[in-house]
Structure 1
Amino acid sequence: MAKPEDIKKQLAKKVNAVQEKPKTFGEQFKNYLAKIAPSVKTVLPKQFDTERFLRIALSEVRRNPQLSQCSIESLGGAIMQSAILGLEPGLHGYAYLVPRWNSKAGRFDAEFQIGYKGYIDLAHRTGKVAFITAEIVYEDDYFEFQYGTNQKLIHKPNIESEKYGDPEYAKKYYAYIKFKDGSEQFKVITKKQALRHAQRFTTSKNKEGELVGPWKTDFDAMALKTAIKLLFKTVQVSTEFQQQIAKDETIANDPDNVQSVYEVIDMEQTEQEQMPK
Structure 2
Amino acid sequence: MTNKIANKNNSITQNHTVKSLLNVEGYQKRFREVLGSRAPQFMSSIISAVNSNAALGECEPNTVIQSALKAAILDLPIEDNFGFAYLVPYYNSKKGYKECQFQLGYKGYIQLALRTGMYRNINVIDIREGELKSWNPLTEELEVEFIEDEKEREGKGVLGYAGYFSLLNGFEKKVYWTVDSLLNHATKYSAQYRKYKSGMWSDNLDDMCKKTVIKNMINKWGILSVEMQTPNQQLLEAIKADQAVIRNEDEYDYVDNDPGEMIEAEVEIEDSTKVNDDFIVDNPDLPWNNSDGEDNKSF
Give me the TM-score of the superposition, normalised by structure 2.
0.68
> Which residue does the alignment assign to 2:148?
159
Matches within 5 A, 1:44-59: 44=35, 49-59=38-48
Q: Deviations over 1:209-236 (max 9, x none)?
A: 3244432222101100111122123213
Query: Structure 2: which amino acid aligns with 1:177?
Result: F
Q: Does residue 122 of the first structure (1) align with residue 116 of the second (2)? A: no
1:200 to 188, 194, 199: 188
**Where does the alignment leave 5 or more consecutive residues of structure 1 unmatched?**
1-23, 259-277
Distance 1:68 1:94, change over 3 A: same
- Structure 2 Cα separation of the partners of residues 49 and 164 of structure 1: 41
> Which residue does the alignment assign to 2:244?
250
Distance 1:155 1:61, change over 3 A: farther
2:207 to 210, 221, 232: 221
Contact 2:106 2:207 in 1 (8 A): yes
**Where does the alignment leave 5 or more consecutive residues of structure 2 unmatched?**
1-14, 226-232, 252-299
Q: Does residue 42 of the first structure (1) align with residue 33 of the second (2)? A: yes
Q: 2:45 aligns to what SS in structure 1? A: helix
Distance 1:157 1:62, change over 3 A: farther
Q: Deviations over 1:16-37 (max 9, x none)?
A: xxxxxxxx98xx3222223323
Q: Does residue 66 of the first structure (1) align with residue 55 of the second (2)? A: yes
- Structure 2 Cα separation of the partners of residues 233 and 179 of structure 1: 15
Instruction: State the number of aligned residues.
Output: 226
Distance 1:162 1:238, change over 3 A: same
Distance 1:59 1:182, change over 3 A: same
Query: Structure 2: which amino acid aligns with 1:42?
Result: E
Displacement, 1:159?
3.3
> Which residue does the alignment assign to 1:184?
172
- Structure 2 Cα separation of the partners of residues 100 and 70 of structure 1: 8
- Structure 2 Cα separation of the partners of residues 215 and 236 of structure 1: 24
1:30 to 19, 24, 41: 19
- Structure 1 Cα separation of the partners of residues 197 and 84 of structure 2: 20
Give me the TM-score of the superposition, normalised by structure 1.
0.73
Structure with larger RCO (C-alpha < 8 A, sep 6+): 1
Q: 2:153 aligns to what SS in structure 1? A: coil
Q: Deviations over 1:31-88 (max 9, x none)?
A: 22233233123123x7x83233223222222222111121001111111111111121
Q: Deviations over 1:185-241 (max 9, x none)?
A: 1221111111121121025x28x9324443222210110011112212321312323
> Which residue does the alignment assign to 1:174?
162
